Amino acid sequence: MNQPTNEVQSIRRIIAASSVGTLIEWYDFYIFGSLAPVIASQFFPKTNPTAALLSTLATFAAGFIVRPFGALVFGRLGDLIGRKYTFLLTLIIMGSATFAIGLVPGYGTIGFAAPVIILILRLLQGLALGGEYGGAATYVAEHAPPKRRGFFTSWIQTTATLGLFLSLGIILITRHILDEDRIKSIAKFNDWGWRIPFLVSIFLVAISVYIRLRMRESPLYAKLKTEGRTSVNPLKESFTHRGNLKMVLLALFGATMGQGVVWYTGQFYAQSFIETVCKVDFDQSRTILLWAILFSTPFFVVFGNWSDKAGRKWIMMAGMLLAILTYRPLFGKLFMIADEKNKTELPDKKEINTTIKPIASTESSLRIVTTKRLFEDGMMLTETKTDTAYAAAERTTLKPDIKLSKQLGQTDYWMMVGIIFIMIIYVTMVYGPIAAFLVELFPTKIRYTSMSLPYHIGNGIFGGLTPFIALLLTTIYTGDKLVGLYYPIIVAAVCLLIGVLYLKGKIDPDVND
Amino acid sequence: MNTLKRFAGVLWMISGPLAIYYLITTGMSEINKKPVIDTKIQWGVFIIVFIPIAVGIMIFGYYAIKGEYDHLPESSQEIKD
């Protein structure tokens, strides 16, 4: 009786120790992305073209290109020296880089060194993240009993979404607690308060390092090491041996590529869409995502657990198919919900305020006209139009700056939560079972290297570029606001076809090989 | 099923060069339309990153045509060069 109880306690400790560290790494990675506009204003002034160039590089290179390199570097280490020390190292690198970002003086203080340091730290974050996930998933899977591998590894799968949840939550809280006056609080946050979420990370990392130091090496890897059967050159074995390379390619094109676009569309592009296309205000667009994440996260475990009975393949394929079939109607509905053309305005509630601010050393002024319109369903639309009021009456601003922000009514707000929830359910279907699926595809001695690369190409490149490519498509084909969805739909469709044709549905009972 | 897997391999092999052609022509046309540093970096990144992936899908197609995926290994002992 005691032995199974001890085993359960032991595996729970392993899952908790691995998951907390992975969650913190995702948190560290996401706060940079979530605070990109603030960081850009502090470190990458648009007036300096080289700094602006570094900004673009920081956004692209670190988040997307560097992750697969991290997978190669740390995957190789994990197969050579062991899982435990490798993912301890990635955690320390990530935590130190994040903490350091919170300490770097701005461009105004140290000049050009500031964006260079930030770019280097962001690259380190990307490298560390590339090494972390494969280690954590492999470590848990190699401890899990064969019939519960999907269930146990699904806890690792919740961490990416929970890391996003934690980063959004801490950012929103910090943004509102720095002053009793909301506007002053946001101003303080943009000035110096943005550093807090980065600095907080050091405490989280310290706790996680302490927990991970007490962990033991994966039993399967320890056994290989004792028997002297570890790989001498994991990179060579993974990618130059035909037998293994074909499995790496199958994992990428038949699973992780589609999983990556479904994940990034459901969480990141959806949030960006409701904020930039539907014009829902900053706080609401984030709290909508927070609620949807909160309700849907348990489904990672539900589908991970189910995959132990039904197999990994068909759950992942069903998630992709649902995404392909419903993305356009779901995003169309999001757009329709926030569209004021479908609502009845209350004209007597309309408010117009004009503020004139003199522009120093000229006779002209800055004119800010704020128009607030209220609708029957409770939505408030705020239009802020900024232009220059010239001293010469005949001269007008050619293109005034117009910003729209919508505060949704309760019903619309919860409808959006519901739609994003559905999209994150697709994420849980494709992502919940994938760690177990990847672990089962590769042998122990090159598992860390072999599974990390397709995972980070699928998620970092195919998935991570989704918001950028979708936005780019809307600028090339301007007639359709939903044209950006063709990228995830086509990638997921190709992946679905390859997955259905070539993947096997059977669960590998023995990963001890 | 195995015949279908092999025939589909041709599709994957062709899709590689098609993707490279689409990437390069669209990238060049977008850079010519808006020749600023942001556009150049964006398309430069897309082309550099996606070309190796396009080569990867060609290799995948080649393996499929050769029948490498007719039977997937049941254990690591079956993974051979």
Q: Which two tokens stand for residue A162?
A: 């929970």
**Does B31 contact A at CB distance below 8 Å?**
no
Interchain proximity B42–A472, CB inside 8 Å: yes
Residues of B in contact with A223 (CB under 8 A): none
Interchain proximity B64–A468, CB inside 8 Å: no
Tell me how far apart the alpha carbons of residues B12 and B65 are, in angstroms, rounded to a whole number. Answer: 10
**Does B60 contact A at CB distance below 8 Å?**
yes
Measured between CA atoms, the residue of chain B closest to residue A458 is: B53
AA identity, residue A315: I
Measured between CA atoms, the residue of chain B closest to residue A465 is: B46
Interchain proximity B74–A508, CB inside 8 Å: yes
Q: Which of B49, B57, B77 sits opposite A513 (nearest CB)?
A: B77
* ipTM score: 0.93
Tell me how far apart the alpha carbons of residues B39 and A207 are, in angstroms, rounded to a whole number. Answer: 42
Please tell me whether residue A429 adopts helix, strand or coil conformation: helix
**Does B36 contact A at CB distance below 8 Å?**
no
Q: Residues A232-270, buried b or exposed e (16+ Cβ, 10 A)?
A: eebbebbbebeebbbbbbbbbbbbbbbbbbbbbbbbbbb
Interchain proximity A245–B59, CB inside 8 Å: yes
Give the pLDDT score at A482: 93
Residues of A in contact with B25 (CB under 8 A): none
Tell me how far apart the alpha carbons of residues B66 and B46 are, in angstroms, rounded to a whole number. Answer: 30
Q: Which of A246, A457, A510 sits opposite B53 (nearest CB)?
A: A457
Measured between CA atoms, the residue of chain A closest to residue B52 is: A457
**Does B65 contact A at CB distance below 8 Å?**
no
**Does A43 contact B at CB distance below 8 Å?**
no
Instruction: Per-residue pLDDT tens, chain A, 513 aa: give them.
Output: 455 667 777 888 888 888 888 888 888 888 888 887 788 888 877 676 666 666 766 666 666 778 889 988 888 888 888 888 888 899 899 999 999 999 999 888 888 888 889 889 988 998 998 888 888 888 888 888 888 899 999 999 999 889 989 999 999 999 999 999 988 999 999 899 999 999 999 988 898 888 888 888 878 878 888 888 777 777 777 778 888 899 999 999 999 999 999 999 999 899 889 998 899 998 899 999 999 999 999 999 999 999 999 999 999 999 999 999 999 999 999 999 999 999 999 999 999 999 888 887 777 888 899 999 999 999 999 999 988 877 776 777 667 888 899 999 999 999 999 999 999 999 999 999 999 999 888 888 788 888 888 999 999 899 988 888 888 888 888 888 899 999 999 999 999 999 999 998 776 666 666
User: Looking at CA atoms only, how far is residue B81 from chain A in angstroms?
Assistant: 5
Give the pLDDT score at A322: 98
Chain A, 244 to 283: residues with Cβ < 8 Å from chain B are: 244-247, 249-250, 252-253
AA identity, residue A502: Y
Query: Count of residues for chain B?
Result: 81
Q: Which of B8, B38, B50 sits opposite A56 (nearest CB)?
A: B38
User: Looking at CA atoms only, how far is residue A246 from chain B in angstroms?
Assistant: 7
Give the pLDDT score at A301: 96
Residues of chain B with pLDDT under 70: 75-81
For residue A91, the Cα-to-chain-centroid distance in whole angstroms is: 17
Q: How many Cβ atoms are within 10 Å of A112's Cβ, its own excluded? A: 12
Interchain proximity A472–B41, CB inside 8 Å: no
Residues 6 or more apart from B28 whose CB is under 8 A from it? none
Distances (CA, A) of A33 to A40, A399, A421: 11, 30, 22
CA atoms within 13 A on the CB side of A199: 9
Tell me how far apart the alpha carbons of residues A466 and A459 are, in angstroms, rounded to a whole number. Answer: 10
pTM for this prediction:
0.89
Distances (CA, A) of A511 to A307, A337, A438, A507: 16, 48, 11, 10
Give the pLDDT score at A3: 54
Enclosing H/E stretch for A433: none
Burial of A13 (0-12, 13-18, 19+ CB in 10 A): middle
Q: Which two tokens stand for residue A39?
A: 């960081």
AA identity, residue A415: M
Torsion over CA of A355, A358, A364 and A370, rounded to 10 degrees? -20
**A188 touches A179 (CB < 8 A):** yes
Q: Which of B15, B57, B75 sits opposite A510 (nearest CB)?
A: B75
**A40 touches A94 (CB < 8 A):** no
Whose structure tokens read 């897997």? B5
Give the pLDDT score at A211: 85
What does R_g of chain B's alpha carbons equal in angstroms? 18
Torsion over CA of A17, A23, A29 and A32, rounded to 10 degrees? -130
Tell me how far apart the alpha carbons of residues A276 and B46 are, in angstroms, rounded to a whole number. Answer: 23
Tell me how far apart the alpha carbons of residues A234 and A236 are, in angstroms, rounded to a whole number. Answer: 5
Best of B41, B79, B80, B81 to disrupt the A interface (most A CBs within 10 Å) is B79
Q: How many Cβ atoms are within 10 Å of A113's Cβ, its own excluded? A: 12
Tell me how far apart the alpha carbons of residues A26 and A504 are, in angstroms, rounded to a whole number. Answer: 31
Please tell me whether residue A404 adopts helix, strand or coil conformation: strand
DSSP secondary structure of A42-60: HH--TTSHHHHHHHHHIII
**Does B52 contact A at CB distance below 8 Å?**
no
Q: Which of A243, A503, A513 sits opposite B75 (nearest CB)?
A: A513
Tell me how far apart the alpha carbons of residues A3 and A290 are, in angstroms, rounded to a whole number. Answer: 40
* DSSP secondary structure code for residue A377 in this structure: T
Please tell me whether residue A372 adopts helix, strand or coil conformation: strand
Measured between CA atoms, the residue of chain A closest to residue B70 is: A502
Give the pLDDT score at A441: 87
